[in-house]
Amino acid sequence: MLRIGVFVCWCGSNIAGTVDVEAVSEALKSEPGVVFSTNYQYMCSQAGQNMIIDAVKEHKLDGIVVCSCSPRMHEATFRKTAAAAGLNPYMVEIANIREQCSWVHKDMATGTEKAIILGKAAVAKVALNAPLTPGESNVTKRALVIGGGIAGIQTALDIAEAGFPVDIVETKPTIGGKMAQLDKTFPTLDCAACILTPKMVDVAQNDKIRIFSYSEVQDVSGFVGNFEVKIKKKARYVNEDICTGCGACVEKCPMKKNPNEFNLGMDNRPAIYIPFAQAVPKVATIDPNACNMLKNGKCGLCEKICTAGAIDYKQKDEIIEEKYGAIVAATGFNPISMDKFDEFAYNQSKDVITSLEFERLTNAAGPTAGKLLRPSDLEHPHTIVFVQCVGSRCENCAEKGKEYCSKICCMYTAKHAMLTRDKYPDTEVYVFYIDVRTPGKSFDEFYRRAVEEYGVKYVKGMVGKVSPEGKKLKVTASDMLNNKQLHIDADLVVLAAAIEPDKSARSIATMLTASMDTNDFFTEAHPKLRPVESPTAGVFLSGACQGPKDIPETVSQASAAAAKVIGLLSKDKLTGNPCVASSDEIMCNGCSSCANVCPYGAITYETKEFRMPDRSTKMRRVAKVNPAVCQGCGACTVACPSGAMDLRGFTTSQIIAEVDAICR
């Protein structure tokens, strides 16, 4: 029988407040195999770890049980402690008496009783533990960044700066993302293009970075250090290696009445186009849905105009296969659709716009060359109403909007209001808000400037209805502080639309086997200790794909994700998790149930020859687990009808032993 030691942590008052830790350590002394049991205030501290090391050596312990916080928090800590004491790291068992016990009970007697039961279960399990040895795998020293916005750009630049090759996959014809559409950035009011464009150029000129623009990730397989990715490079019908970006084809194209996506449909573009002047790569793209040559075989003017001979109407989509050691998701965000918010007349009037559309209206490269003009008649608006939280913090979340705060709206609305009043002093500006949230550095001072220096009229209350009447927009709203109704004749209404993950995020997460929350934001491995890592090893998170963020926070997280990737790629070999599934070939009947439920594709089948009791041979199909791919989720062990699949470290016999200990 194993010699087991039990160590009960107080966790300050987190556990000791509702659990009698001394009674727990005393009760566990009498469990079979336990030869030592003690308690300490902070078992994860250096002193606590030294206590474990000394006890292992003094009492010749074969296994240890630590009654403390969640294994997600400190299991790795105590495994390293066991290794330092000369014990196999997988002979450590954690009994979670904090999150699963002390935090959910107020009565000490109840909490103590449950803590003892959890401790008994852990002792029963560790008694059946066996030393495990992790395997090793090589690392492909190349990274993939999915998304070419400011998050993806910063991540790629940092990885390349460390000397590792990196590929950026961007669905649009150019990198730059949402930041490329902005005019100014808060709270410094510096030019977004002036900040972003040099970084885009740096990406284009860096010999360690490849840009796959107008492309999308089609398939991902493999595991950390050895991902195999298929990238679909869509046909531009323009040879990127030849095109000089001169724009002659764009000027001469006769099909000019296509909505301009970069300006959010507020003006038109030709069938062949370059999204904006600073695009990277600065290469023309033909829209196959608008090009007369591709649709009807008539025209071909751009081919005749192009002196470089870059136009290729026969170009096909291309599938590129590449191997990567790490993948970074930087898929970004989009404003939510305003179609369900009929009370604001967004679909009824051109003069009701979103904040991102307002950005394009005020941008010098926008549809009105930077002049603030009403979209309906191109006249200067004199009364502008900004409406906050449209779709954010929404009470009817399932029907219309999002239950979360979009975080950036208060600040960019203050920016819009301030810039409007600065450039057009004759303009009257109202901002209707629920709460003003300004948590960042210098953010509150920025908001106060809008109110105190620029005279922006902030009204605490919601807009109930916007009604187009002639050239005016009749705004009906409430002023909660003064307890009255307001009726404003506005020339322009700007809606601060909630932001949501890009539509590609769900499919990307499925391919990466990454976790997502109910709002389709990527979920981090741990909100405090591993904020830029996905629960899937080798997959990292950058920017607004994880949640609403402003530019400084996005860039910070992008560099943090890059640091994690660099740490991974700098290793020649990776140590895997030995707690993986294994198949008993004698019991396996080759039914494929386990492979069908495996979310990681770790299970394959092979046909092997088996000797029968009568000395004859028989060919049978049996399951085979790739330990480098398996993540130890245990789905296959549940699905296997013959009981052939088992999970090392969490075998059926160990689970039953835990249940028996609880039920005693």
Q: What pLDDT does residue 134 have?
A: 87
The tokens for 235 are 């046909």
pLDDT 10s digits, 336-394: 999 989 999 999 999 999 999 999 999 999 999 999 999 999 999 999 999 999 999 98
pLDDT 10s digits, 3-49: 999 999 999 899 999 999 999 999 999 999 999 999 999 999 999 99
Q: What pLDDT does residue 664 have?
A: 81
DSSP H helices in 89-225: 108-126, 150-161, 192-205
- Of the candidates 596, 520, 594, the one whose C-alpha atom is nearest the C-alpha of residue 329 is 520
Q: CB-based contacts of 67: which residues, under 8 Å, 6+ apart?
A: 6, 7, 8, 9, 21, 24, 25, 28, 94, 95, 97, 115, 118, 119, 122
pLDDT 10s digits, 589-609: 999 999 999 987 889 999 988
Distance (Å, rounded) from C-alpha 330 to C-alpha 561?
10
Distance (Å, rounded) from C-alpha 197 to C-alpha 150?
10
Distance (Å, rounded) from C-alpha 436 to C-alpha 444?
9
pLDDT 10s digits, 179-207: 999 999 999 999 999 999 999 999 999 99
Q: What pLDDT does residue 397 have?
A: 61
Strand partners, 198: none
Distance (Å, rounded) from C-alpha 658 to C-alpha 653?
9
35 and 3 in contact (C-beta within 8 Å)?
A: yes
Instruction: Work out the angle between the directed axes of helices 409-423 and 443-452 (0-180°, nearest 10).
Output: 40
2 and 33 in contact (C-beta within 8 Å)?
A: yes
The pLDDT-based confidence of 487 (bands split at 50, 70, 90) is very high
* Whether residue 549 has pLDDT greater than 90: yes
Residue 29, Cβ neighbours under 10 Å: how many?
12
The tokens for 256 are 């000019």
- SS3 of residue 490 by DSSP: strand
The tokens for 664 are 């005693």
The pLDDT-based confidence of 617 (bands split at 50, 70, 90) is confident
The pLDDT-based confidence of 398 (bands split at 50, 70, 90) is low
Tell me which amino acid residue 318 is. E
Going edge to edge, which strands form the sheet with 209-212?
A: 209-212, 166-169, 143-146, 326-329, 539-541
Which H or E run contains 9? strand 4-9
Distance (Å, rounded) from C-alpha 446 to C-alpha 439?
11
Distance (Å, rounded) from C-alpha 598 to C-alpha 621?
18
Distance (Å, rounded) from C-alpha 338 to C-alpha 347?
8
173 and 272 in contact (C-beta within 8 Å)?
A: no
- Of the candidates 477, 486, 541, 483, the one whose C-alpha atom is nearest the C-alpha of residue 508 is 541
Inter-CA distances, 52 with 98, 272, 524, Å: 19, 69, 31
Report, as an integer, the average pLDDT of 287-297. Answer: 94
pLDDT 10s digits, 427-483: 999 999 999 999 889 999 999 999 999 999 999 999 999 999 989 999 999 999 999
Report, as an integer, the average pLDDT of 260-268. Answer: 95
Residue tagged 């490849």 (tokens)? 210
- SS3 of residue 103 by DSSP: helix
Beta strands at 326-329 and 143-146: parallel, antiparallel or unpaired:
parallel
Long-range CB contact pairs, 369-375, < 8 A, 24+: 370/183, 372/420, 372/423, 372/424, 372/427, 374/350, 374/491, 374/492, 375/266, 375/350, 375/351
- Of the candidates 368, 212, 216, 231, the one whose C-alpha atom is nearest the C-alpha of residue 283 is 212
Beta strands at 318-324 and 166-169: parallel, antiparallel or unpaired:
unpaired
The structure's pTM equals 0.85
Length of the chain: 664
Instruction: Work out the angle between the directed axes of helices 150-161 and 192-205 (0-180°, nearest 10).
Output: 40
Distance (Å, rounded) from C-alpha 269 to C-alpha 290?
10
492 phi/psi in degrees, rounded to 5: -150, 135
Q: What is the largest CA-CA distance in the chain?
A: 100
The tokens for 66 are 């630590």
- SS3 of residue 72 by DSSP: helix
Half-sphere exposure of 303 (CA within 13 A, CB side): 13
Report, as an integer, the average pLDDT of 162-169. Answer: 98
Distance (Å, rounded) from C-alpha 608 to C-alpha 108?
58
The tokens for 651 are 């075998």
